[in-house]
Amino acid sequence: MLQCDDYKLPGSLDEAFDIMDRHPGQFGLVAGATDVMTYARAGRGGDVYFPILIDLTRIDELRGVELENGRVRLGACTTIAEFLTNPLLREHLPVMAHCAMWFADDQVRQAATLAGNFVNASPSADATPPMVALNAVLTLESRRNGSRHKRTMPLEGFLVGPAKTQLSPGEIITNIECDSARGYGTAFEKVGRRRSLVISVVCHAAMVKVGGNGERFDDVRLAMGAIGPVADRLRECESYLIGKPIQLTVVHEAARLPLGRVRSRTRQNYRRVVVESFLEKSIDAALGSIGLSLDQNGARSKGYA
């Protein structure tokens, strides 16, 4: 059960910092609470209790999206549902729309926030692999001696392990910046014990940009979750594919490269099979989203769009 003595809804970051200053070591921060609620209900860590619970979802400074110099800035309290409904996000971060379709159900998507998914630091968090592949950088803000301080950190470096991050006491994620993926073919794959409302056994994001009239890979972004303690950027696969022709045989060879990355505590052999098949499937699906595909003879079979 999740319990608190006092529930606060600050309207600004300064108000939130005021509450934190008055109750050092006694507060918990939530923004959607979709992870902490299920954790408490399941009793996996015993009852979850905070003297003061601070809900950040009413803070305007933690909302909004904008595009600048090829980077997308998202407020920390951007919800997963917004990736399905916001036109700018659908255009520039299409992989997150694919991810959102797999993310729990509509009610949870309306509440779950992007920063909350990161802070929870689950190895199987669905939103993490696509944002890692998009070179996401977090802005972390705190207040000391009345002055606000900011630092930035790549999402890859922020995540340390299951439920472990580089977030310092008194810090709040205020925004996330990532690359625009406009013009990329994108896909998101996930496998679990059922179709939805499920923790991922493996989840995977793929983005491809093609050149040479659709004949070669100009850029490839690949990241996978739930195969280890944190989401993995599959750079060896990316490097292998970039510049090579779009052929099934090439993709098949690339899909074998990350099998040694599987280091989860359970079901390692199964996950290795999934990793290989997901890489092939997701790259084909990403190509399909821009009018290309792979045939069994190793050549593209659709017209370049």
CATH number at residue 272: 3.30.390.50
Kindly state the average pLDDT of the residues 286-301: 74
Residue 298 belongs to some domain of the structure? no
pLDDT bin (cut points 50, 70, 90) of residue 185 is very high
Q: Is residue 17 part of a domain?
A: yes
What is the reported pTM? 0.89
Domain boundary among the residues 129, 144, 179 is at: 179
172 and 207 share a domain? Answer: no
Domain membership of residue 6 (yes or no) is yes
Q: What digits encode the pLDDT tens for the residues 237-264? A: 999 999 999 999 999 999 989 887 776 5
Expressed as residue numbers, the domain containing 214 is 185-288
Q: Is residue 297 part of a domain?
A: no
Query: Is the confidence at residue 280, as pLDDT, over 70?
Result: yes
Lowest mean pLDDT among 68-77, 80-89, 164-173, 199-208: 199-208
Assess if residue 163 is contained within a domain. Answer: yes
CA pair distance 34, 51, nearest whole angstrom = 19
What whole-number distance in Å separates Cα of residue 103 and Cα of residue 125?
A: 9
pLDDT band at 293 (very low <50, low <70, confident <90, very high): confident
Judgement on whether residues 174 and 215 belong to the same structural domain of the protein = no
Give the position of tokens 């998202």: 74
Q: How would you write the chain as a 3-class SS string? A: CEEEEEEECCCCHHHHHHHHHHCCCCEEEECCCHHHHHHHHHCECECEEEEEEEECCCCHHHCCEEEECCEEEEECCCECCHHHHCHHHHHHCHHHHHHHHHCCCHHHHHHCEHHHHHHHCCCCCCCHHHHHHCCCEEEEEEEECCEEEEEEEEHHHHEEECCEECCCCCCEEEEEEEECCCCCEEEEEEECCCCCCCCCCEEEEEEEEEECCCCEEEEEEEEEECCCCCCEECHHHHHHHCCCECCHHHHHHHHHHHHHHCCCCCCHHHHHHHHHHHHHHHHHHHHHCCCCCECCCCCECCCCC
- 163 lies in the same domain as 139: yes
